[in-house]
Structure 1
Amino acid sequence: MKKIEIFTDGACSGNPGPGGYGTILRFNDITKELYGGDPKTTNNRMEMMAVIKGLQALKESCEITLYSDSQYVINAITKGWAEGWKKRGWVKSDKKPALNSDLWEIILQLLAVHKVSFVWVKGHAGHPENERCDHLAVTGSQEAKKLGKCFDKVVGE
């Protein structure tokens, strides 16, 4: 099974507001960068989109180490929150609706295909790949604001 590293970040100018995501995939010495944006979204949705786009870019089942500065994303998976919300019909333990259930559904489906280990990294602390993902996410946010629509891009295409 291929071992892949995925680095992710999301950004939002206003919350909600124009947002973007940045994702780096690394397999051995091959690196691929993805980014995109949405003119009206939230930071958490963009953090989730970064994860989704990274996992969707893989053509086969892989062993993945996924790095994110989003405690929302990491805790929802590693602490079983998202699975619990799904079992309760996308209702949290406090009986309030779970937010972003559409994206959690996609993430849970993708996690069933791959073996993923999540690693939290401190944002804006000099981690090279996190800083690059942040740059991509901010670029995505700016482009989404200009375009007025959602988009996805691969760097260099």
Structure 2
Amino acid sequence: MTTTKARDFIRISTDGSCIGNPGPGAWAFVVVDEKESETLEVQSSRYASTTNQRMELSAVIAALEAFQDTDRPILVESDSQYVVKGITEWVPSWKARNWKTAARKPVKNADLWQQLDTLASDRDITWQWVKGHDGNANNERADFLAYSMASSEEVRCGS
């Protein structure tokens, strides 16, 4: 993290959940201001039919959209290697190949990857994979919210 004050950053913990794949799903994020040691925002949303990968990406996108006006460094924690490796390793190659894989097939979820790439560009973001269900309180909270929403009967948002 490129910051002069060790804890002067915003921590975003995200998770997505899907009951079946595809099936009902949801995403959630928890945002903590590490400088003030306080939770700034918690959000979640449910979709009637989606995939787990779309929910993992949607969680990060929603969080970055909610905090796009900050100029402070951001730490994004995700238990999805798909998200972390995708944004840090795969996106540059996909972009160079016009959003095609090495096998020249269209990138899955390209719409969300393009949105995430736009939101992340020119921002001081550190991407960190965290092991799920391993005691990280904010990841556990995001997981609980996403799973609870995905499991609920009520549909709050459609896609």
Q: What range is the shorter-chain TM-score in?
A: 0.7 to 0.9
2 CA distance for matches of 1:139 and 1:12? 10
- Structure (1/2) with the larger strand percentage: 1
* Inter-CA distance 113–126: structure 2 relative to 1 (3 Å threshold): same
Q: Which one of 143, 147, 155 corresponds to residue 147 of structure 1?
A: 155
User: Counterparts in 2 of 1:1-157, with a 5 A limit?
Assistant: 3-27=9-33, 28-31=36-39, 32-58=41-67, 59-79=69-89, 81-143=90-152, 145-147=153-155, 149-150=157-158
In the alignment, structure 1 segments of 5+ residues that lack a partner are 152-157
* Shift, 1:30, TM fit: 2.8
Distance in 1 of aligned mates of 2:132 and 2:122: 28
In 2, Cα distance between equivalents of 1:15 and 1:42? 5
Percent identity among equivalent residues? 38
1:38-88 deviation digits (Å, cap 9, x = unpaired): 111100110001100111111333311110000001001222x11211221
1:86-110 CA-to-partner distances (Å, cap 9, x unmatched) read 2212110111210001101110111
Runs of 4+ displaced beyond 6 Å: none
Unmatched 5+ stretches in structure 2: none
- Deviation track 1:4-61 (CA, whole Å, cap 9, x = no partner) reads 1100011000001011111011112331111111111100110001100111111333
Partner SS, residue 146 of structure 1: coil
TM-score normalised by L of structure 2: 0.86
Residue 147 of structure 1 deviates from its aligned partner by 2.3
Q: What is the TM-score with the length of structure 1 in the denominator?
A: 0.87
CA contact (8 A) 2:31 2:42 kept: yes
**Separation (CA, whole Å) in 1 of partners of 2:21 and 2:134:** 22
Give the partner amino acid of 2:123.
Answer: H
- Please give the root-mean-square deviation of Cα atoms over the aligned residues, in Å: 1.8
Give the letter for the 2:27 counterpart.
Y
